[in-house]
Amino acid sequence: MPRRTGAPPDPPARLSLISRHLAPDFALNTPYTVERLPSTIDTALLPKTQTRKMSSQPPHPTLLIPGPIEFDDAVLQSMSHYSESHVGPAFVATFGETLSMLRKLFQTSDLASQPFILSGSGTLGWDLVASNLIEAGEDVLVLGSGYFSDGLADCLKVYGANVTELKAPPGQKPQLPEIEKALSQKRYKAITVTHVDTSTGVLSELKDLSALVHKVSPDTLILVDGVCSVACEEIDFDGWKLDGVVTASQKAIGCPAGLSISMFSGRAMEAFKNRQTPPASYFASMKNWTHIMQNYEAKKPSYFATPSPQLIHALHTALTQILARPLSERFTLHKAASDRIKKAVADLGLKQVAGNPDEQAHGMTAIYLPESVKQTDILPNLAKKNVVFAGGIHKEIATKYIRFGHMGVSVLDPRRGDVERAIQALQDGLAECGYQKA
């Protein structure tokens, strides 16, 4: 990540850096920080290398799976925030700021857009969509690009949606002409797209897709599974006229797992309000949560179910760090790392599961193994080299490929050397497993 050059940090910032070194446990979102770090200080000024030396993280294998990912120290330290009332002014302010920061992350300035943060896995976002925005019997077109699109279709069916799946073979995605054809055959309440299917690393393009939907079927809601894309792939929520993006805390956002994070358009919220039937879930019901989120963002205490203050603090820290730099820079850095990795994979003579270069995610790479190398040999070999990759998960090809996640600090902080170390480990590991490039 390019360092800011030119003028050194101003005196208050320098002072805060020193105080951090004296009390490395008290990072962002601790009361000590509130005293020591004025909110105007650019956290990007904090010296990463020194922070790492002071790290509370013991040496451990580098986690390079497509989520959870490696954590920044300050994010992880925020997880140890002392206990607070979930309706006390300090926590309400933190939660409110976190919701407001989500608007910037999703690039929406439309005040009708509504963010949600719920305790839960990313999967809970599917329930949020399926039980609030769709009513039983309504038609939904699901663009199928892998395991996770299948899961979303299953979830929609549980809540009674009439699902039409447009499924592509492993490593591919449905193309615009067939989508246009499907949209012209039936009036769909919504279309869903998995921005990056974590099972295959296939990236779905959103801008042209949305333009097509708005042209062919303008009333159809455009709902995006952004679990493996938010914060590493560009998402222009307003500009692309999206109606919903659901994601999770533990991927490119770089926060520990445990939060379902989402943004819905004013149009989606209207669709919810205009339901003929009550929402089909309780804990994931927008009826229960919408006014709570609005109250939190207005810094008013409010209660439906107890949020996780520690996870919200960690998310607050992660979003503060993300928004301290231009988002475009973040996306560019993810793309650059992805390009390096994909070139290295090609140089090894290996193929990606996502075959088309225009359809390859920038936060992960799914790599077909050579026929002579088993997943059960290479993954433990890499683990011995302190690099943790993931196995395959797409049911048709699960044993034939491995997945390399490259999101967040592993990509943004070049001093870590995570990407280069992983590429080297992959090269060495494959050779040790007997593979030679043909």
Among the listed ranges 43-51, 155-163, 189-197, 201-209, the one in contact with a copy of itself (CB under 8 A) is: 155-163
Assess 132 for contact with a copy of itself (CB under 8 A).
Answer: no
Assess 146 for contact with a copy of itself (CB under 8 A).
Answer: no
Residue 143: strand, helix, or coil: strand
CA distances from 216 to 180, 186, 219, 271, 438 (A): 7, 11, 9, 19, 48
Assess 135 for contact with a copy of itself (CB under 8 A).
Answer: no
Rank residues 389 and 435 by Cβ distance to a copy of itself and give the closer one.
389
Q: Is 52 annotated for ligand binding? A: no
Assess 248 for contact with a copy of itself (CB under 8 A).
Answer: yes
Rank residues 226 and 370 by Cβ distance to a copy of itself and give the closer one.
226
Assess 56 for contact with a copy of itself (CB under 8 A).
Answer: yes
Contact 204, 192 (CB under 8 A): no
Placement of tokens 């992805």 in the chain: 338
Assess 280 for contact with a copy of itself (CB under 8 A).
Answer: yes
- Rounded to a whole number of angstroms, the minimum distance from the CB of residue 9 to a copy of itself is 24
CA distances from 256 to 125, 133, 252, 337 (A): 16, 28, 11, 22
- Rounded to a whole number of angstroms, the minimum distance from the CB of residue 178 to a copy of itself is 27
Return the residue of 80, 107, 294, 332 that touches a copy of itself, per CB under 8 A: 80
Assess 338 for contact with a copy of itself (CB under 8 A).
Answer: no
Beta bridge partners of 402: 367, 391
Assess 68 for contact with a copy of itself (CB under 8 A).
Answer: yes
- Rounded to a whole number of angstroms, the minimum distance from the CB of residue 179 to a copy of itself is 25
Rank residues 73 and 233 by Cβ distance to a copy of itself and give the closer one.
73
Judged by CB under 8 A, the number of residues near a copy of itself is 67
- Rounded to a whole number of angstroms, the minimum distance from the CB of residue 38 to a copy of itself is 18
As a residue count, the chain comes to 438
User: What CA dihedral angle connects 210, 223, 250 and 166, to 10 degrees?
Assistant: -90
- Rounded to a whole number of angstroms, the minimum distance from the CB of residue 391 to a copy of itself is 8
Residue 360: strand, helix, or coil: strand
Assess 310 for contact with a copy of itself (CB under 8 A).
Answer: yes
Structure tokens at 61: 């294998």
Assess 120 for contact with a copy of itself (CB under 8 A).
Answer: yes
Structure tokens at 99: 């919701």
- Residue 96 main-chain phi, psi, to 5 deg: -60, -45
Rank residues 206 and 224 by Cβ distance to a copy of itself and give the closer one.
224
Closest to 91 in 3D by CA, of 292, 248, 296: 296
Burial class of residue 355 in the structure, from the number of CB atoms within 10 Å of its CB (0-12 exposed, 13-18 middle, 19+ buried): middle
Assess 54 for contact with a copy of itself (CB under 8 A).
Answer: no
- Rounded to a whole number of angstroms, the minimum distance from the CB of residue 259 to a copy of itself is 8
- Binding pattern for the stretch 92-111 against a copy of itself, x by CB under 8 A and - elsewhere: --------------------
Assess 305 for contact with a copy of itself (CB under 8 A).
Answer: yes
Assess 88 for contact with a copy of itself (CB under 8 A).
Answer: yes
Assess 401 for contact with a copy of itself (CB under 8 A).
Answer: no
Return the residue of 158, 212, 323, 398 that touches a copy of itself, per CB under 8 A: 158
Q: How far apart are CA 21 and CA 19, in angstroms?
A: 5
- Rounded to a whole number of angstroms, the minimum distance from the CB of residue 397 to a copy of itself is 16
In our burial notation (b when 16+ CB lie closer than 10 A, e otherwise), range 56-73 reads eeeeeebbbbbbbbbbbb
Assess 65 for contact with a copy of itself (CB under 8 A).
Answer: yes
**Neighbouring C-alpha atoms within 13 Å toward the C-beta of 76:** 14
Among the listed ranges 10-18, 183-191, 249-257, 395-403, the one in contact with a copy of itself (CB under 8 A) is: 249-257
Contact 215, 193 (CB under 8 A): no
Q: How far apart are CA 24 and CA 21, in angstroms?
A: 5
Q: What is the C-alpha R_g of the chain? A: 22
Q: How far apart are CA 46 and CA 1, in angstroms?
A: 13
Which parts of 180-239 interact with a copy of itself (CB under 8 A)?
none
Q: How far apart are CA 51 and CA 72, in angstroms?
A: 9
Rank residues 3 and 60 by Cβ distance to a copy of itself and give the closer one.
60
Site residues, a copy of itself (CB under 8 A): 25-26, 30-32, 56-58, 60, 63, 65, 67-71, 76-77, 79-80, 82-88, 118-124, 126-127, 130-131, 154-155, 158-159, 248, 250, 256-258, 278-285, 303-311, 388, 390, 393
Q: Which residues are annotated as a binding site for substrate?
A: 403
